[in-house]
Chain A
């Protein structure tokens, strides 16, 4: 590039208002794109954060979610006894039978009520997950007591320690708050397995069984063993695959976000073209002078294209900066698999930022190519005569 970039930068600075307004339009498109990517990324993070790499979820054959599955209690005994199952400190297999259902509570976002996953599990089940107690205490067996995830406590005003919530056959008291980190567990309500299954008339079956294997090889063997076992009418899916499949919940919003970003970009693209055409018109004399000095048509084209790309690159950075505060925002989305809300934080990471930046640059190039060509093609003599 023969013509110095300072020429372009300073020209952008001279027409401050125009530059700023065009840049802001592009910046907003980039921000929306980054936000959409950050939404999906945040959702993915929560789902991958939930899964333990060595754990298997056992469901009834044909079911595609815990909610739509039943596993009889006698099957649990068979599953526990399978070889390849990891053991806890007492030598007992790490296997947990769990009952999953849905409760409905009014939330900040949805005063009419939103679904929350209710999970009945045993102490083993708790041990198999990485959650920690942050307030109150764990529920006791035989009591109508429940724990709420931290996200539930934050987003649902009625879910505070000491309050009572209603699901199943009646009221339950909230005795503690737990934190599962960036995982779906932080959006769940937990209670004792026996207590909860009784409430839903499910004394002889659970929704699912969670098993841990000793190592990846055993995991695979265990999976096949379960599926081939004729006594069980079940199939096993790794926790990872189970939760990965739920990331599609974010698909509608991601689609909407990208759709909007692209359309806004088209609008901003037209604006960029307009701005650059105006610049080319205004600087006719300069273009003619540069040509006289010996700069070729190609270098003029590149220079104006560079100016457009510089503008959009700056806008891209601005857009990324605008979007980044979203990383502090927690929101919820409904998973169609679990029929309930999952809280997650926006996670606008490097990929989203780079995508936004690249998006901006492409936009600048596309918007600026026609004016740049017009600049390059100007006839020297008529260009010089322009005021």
Chain B
């Protein structure tokens, strides 16, 4: 075996430029396939979840996210075994200053201050600020990216003019929290304050859009979701509860028939890679027809020649595959960090990682391409008769 390896290696290095170009070409294709596979994994199966995220589920109206749920549901949800904390959540589409400036547009949610940080254990905030938020009704907290974007300071007055709700809120910023894996700009304030600000006859006074639930452990999440939905199934506002990740993933369908799109592209890229690899190998074999003849006169059998050609192809494919996987790892990390400030819909991409599973799959694709691409050229080489090759004049 060893002498074969030597010969195979020597052959690959013979036309260094061509081998390098082929490896580069394959590496690029493999990198692309790797990234697409990792993307598929993140989009359709959810990427790597943070521990806090894994225990969280979201309850919303069964029919549409835009329909409201009564706040009274919260009591019922709290009583379900396995539930550690629940907060109500109501989206408030208020205007901050001049809404035409894009940086003034950010998500605002009315929640229950005492429970917010229990439901989001990954939010970090100084204890004093947390206490201020709990005690002052008109207090609000902002995420670090929002505070930096708008240059907010503690104690500052934030006025939100209601869009959907006919009211104006005068809030005071008492805290800024850090979410290590989440770069979105968001403001949280007290739901009670919002409720009290709405006129008495307003039908949406006691309504919320979602409940965020933190379970005690992540295995209980599925069961809890089912239980919640069962309780409210026959009420006028039936619910749909799902783990936060599944909720995020449901937005992926927004991007259109992405599965088909990605599958088609992966197919096209693999096919192209196969073409290029076969092509290069054929060129290489054709140029060395003379040598094949000489090898045969020296006693190498057709089978041995076949395995040498296949060996060369596999070696190049493997090298290209490794390089491609390396590139893909870097690219995935880059995309993940770039996507950290993306809005909710594509936020699953934050969890984009080039996992060992994806790497293994990608590498095996490379090897398969190497093997398949060598079939035709290898057969050609093995079949050439000695006489033909020695007379071959290029």
- Nearest residue (CB) in A for B349 is A252
CA separation between A31 and B269, bound complex, in Å?
A: 12
Residues A21 and B161 in contact, CB atoms below 8 Å apart: no
A339 within 8 Å of B (CB atoms): yes
> A339 and B164 in contact (CB under 8 A), knowing A21-B278, A273-B21?
no
A49 within 8 Å of B (CB atoms): no
CA separation between A387 and B257, bound complex, in Å?
A: 54
| A69 CB contacts on chain B under 8 angstroms | 163-164
145-169 of chain B: CB within 8 A of chain A: 161-164, 166
| B21 CB contacts on chain A under 8 angstroms | 270-271, 273-274, 277
Contact of A201 (CB < 8 Å), options: B17, B164, B203, B271? B203
A271 to chain B, nearest CB (A): 4
CA separation between A271 and B20, bound complex, in Å?
A: 11
Q: Chain B 20-32, CB within 8 Å of chain A: the 1/0 string? A: 0110111011011
A60 within 8 Å of B (CB atoms): yes
Residues B66 and A101 in contact, CB atoms below 8 Å apart: yes
CA separation between A263 and B254, bound complex, in Å?
A: 25
- Nearest residue (CB) in B for A260 is B265
Residues B64 and A101 in contact, CB atoms below 8 Å apart: yes
CA separation between A101 and B94, bound complex, in Å?
A: 19
42-65 of chain A: CB within 8 A of chain B: 60-64
| A31 CB contacts on chain B under 8 angstroms | 268
> A267 and B63 in contact (CB under 8 A), knowing A62-B163, A69-B163, A274-B25?
no
> A332 and B257 in contact (CB under 8 A), knowing A102-B64, A267-B25?
yes
Residues A252 and B255 in contact, CB atoms below 8 Å apart: yes
Q: Which of B77-85, B110-118, B279-287 contacts its partner?
A: B279-287
Q: Chain A 187-207, CB within 8 Å of chain B: the 1/0 string? A: 000000000000011000000
Residues A339 and B163 in contact, CB atoms below 8 Å apart: no
B223 within 8 Å of A (CB atoms): no
Q: Chain B 241-284, CB within 8 Å of chain A: the 1/0 string? A: 00000000011011111100100010011011101101110110
Residues A25 and B272 in contact, CB atoms below 8 Å apart: yes
| A112 CB contacts on chain B under 8 angstroms | 250, 253
| Interface, chain B (partner A; CB < 8 A) | 17-18, 21-22, 24-26, 28-29, 31-32, 36, 63-67, 93-95, 99, 105, 161-164, 166, 203-204, 236, 250-251, 253-258, 261, 265, 268-269, 271-273, 275-276, 278-280, 282-283, 287, 343, 345-346, 393-394
Query: What are the nearest 5 A-B pairs in CB distance?
Result: A334-B254, A62-B95, A270-B25, A267-B28, A21-B279
| Interface, chain A (partner B; CB < 8 A) | 17-18, 21-22, 24-25, 28-29, 31-32, 60-64, 67-70, 101-104, 109-110, 112, 114-115, 166-169, 200-201, 252-253, 256, 260, 263-264, 266-268, 270-271, 273-275, 277-278, 281-282, 331-334, 336, 339, 341, 387
9 A-B residue pairs with Cβ-Cβ distance under 8 Å, sorted by A, are A21-B275, A21-B276, A28-B268, A63-B93, A101-B64, A102-B66, A109-B257, A260-B265, A331-B256
